[in-house]
A and B are shown apart, each in its own frame.
Chain A
Amino acid sequence: MPHDHHDHLSPSGHPYRQDDDTPLSYWQSMEIAVRELLVEKNITTLEEISTQIDKMDARGPALGAAVVARAWVDPAFKSRLLKDGSAASGEMGFDVGPMHLIALENTADTHNIVVCTLCSCYPRNLLGLPPDWYKSRAYRSRTVKEPRKVLSEFGVNLPNDTQIRVHDSTADMRYVVIPARPSGSEDLSEEDLAKLVTRDSMIGTGLAMMPNA
Chain B
Amino acid sequence: MKKIKFSPGGCFAYIFLTILSITCIFPLLWLLVSAFKSSGEMLANPTAFFPKAWTLENFKTVLFTLNFTVNIKNSLIVALVTTAIATTVSALAAYGIIRFFPKLGNVMTKLLITTYMFPSIMLVIPYAVVMRAIHLTNSRVGLVLVYMSFSVPYAVWMLVGFFKTVPIAIEESGRIDGANRLQVFTRLVLPLVRPGLVSTAIYVFINAWNEFLYALLLISSSSRQTLSVAVKTLEGADILNWGSMMAASAIVVLPSIIFFCLIQNKIAGGLADGAVK
Chains A and B bind each other: no
Residues in B lying within 8 Å of A, measured CB to CB: none
